[in-house]
Amino acid sequence: MTIKLQPETEAQLISSVKRFFAEELDDDIGDLKARRVLDFCLREMAPSVYNQAIADAQQTLEVAVADLGGVRYEAEFDYWKRR
């Protein structure tokens, strides 16, 4: 699975990786190293996150579909009953 980011998103993420290294690890890195870290995360970790997100969405949809029987019912032919 290849994740293609928008250029603006990629630039922000690279900036965030550089800031993380600087503030959390006391290590200043350049754009190239930050891009490599981002690429690693996208290739190694993102598929697991994506798969979990899809599984969560599927479960949410299955619950919603299972509940359709309860929410779809509308009484029929009740005009005269309401009078």
Question: pTM value?
Answer: 0.74
Domain parsing of the chain, residue ranges: 7-71
As a whole number, mean pLDDT of residues 15-44 equals 98
Residue 67 pLDDT level (bands cut at 50, 70, 90) = confident
As a whole number, mean pLDDT of residues 24-49 equals 97
Helix (H, G, I), strand (E, B) or coil at 1: coil
Average pLDDT, rounded, for the chain:
92
Please state, as a whole number, how many other Cβ atoms lie within 10 Å of the Cβ of residue 71.
8
- Count the alpha carbons within 13 Å of 34 in the hemisphere toward its beta carbon: 18
Cα separation, 41 vs 46, in Å, equals 6
Cα separation, 31 vs 76, in Å, equals 66
Q: Estimate the crossing angle of helix 31-44 against helix 7-24, to 10 degrees.
A: 110
- Look at residue 1 in the predicted model and tell me its pLDDT: 64
